[in-house]
Amino acid sequence: MPLTRIVVQAGRTESELKIISDTLHQTLVDTFHVPPDDCFQLIDEYPSDRLVVNQHYLTGERSSKYTLFSITAGKPRDQATKARFYQMLCDRLVERMNMSPDDVMVVIQFTNPDDWSFSGGKLFRLPSDTELS
């Protein structure tokens, strides 16, 4: 049940945004074992003067293609799983979008099931035969 906010600088085409979205979701399915129909994403576009990031902090050099994935997930993952996810997402974006690895940033926060309400004002409760994604 990840919810992801994808932050980009304005000017990306609809095709580029779809590739980014699809790549993220497929990588979550492949590494976090998220069900294929469990897709919740918000794509935020900002003008260059409203997307303020240090071009060199802990990396080579960020460009106007900088993309932030801010993921809120319900099930904690171990360090190895997160490392696989980060690397696979970056590799796929480099391959599919010709993005620089320096332009890919990911932040993941984990929550408890009772931190979610999917609809109707009801507290989310995991069915006994279902595993949290």
Choices 3.30.429.10, 3.40.50.20, 3.55.30.10, 3.30.70.260: CATH for 3-115 = 3.30.429.10
CB under 8 Å to 96, separation ≥6 — which residues?
19, 23
pLDDT category at 130 given cuts 50, 70, 90 is low
Instruction: Tell me the DSSP string of 51-113.
Output: ----SSTTSS---TT-EEEEEEESS---HHHHHHHHHHHHHHHHHHH---GGGEEEEEEE--G
Q: How far apart are the C-alpha atoms of 8 and 40, rounded to whole Å?
A: 17
Active site residue 36: no
Catalytic residue among 2, 36, 113, 127: 2
What global pTM score does this model have?
0.91
pLDDT category at 1 given cuts 50, 70, 90 is confident
Q: Does residue 72 have a pLDDT over 90?
A: yes
pLDDT digits (tens, 9 = 90+) for 7-57: 999 999 999 999 999 999 999 999 999 999 999 999 999 999 999 999 999
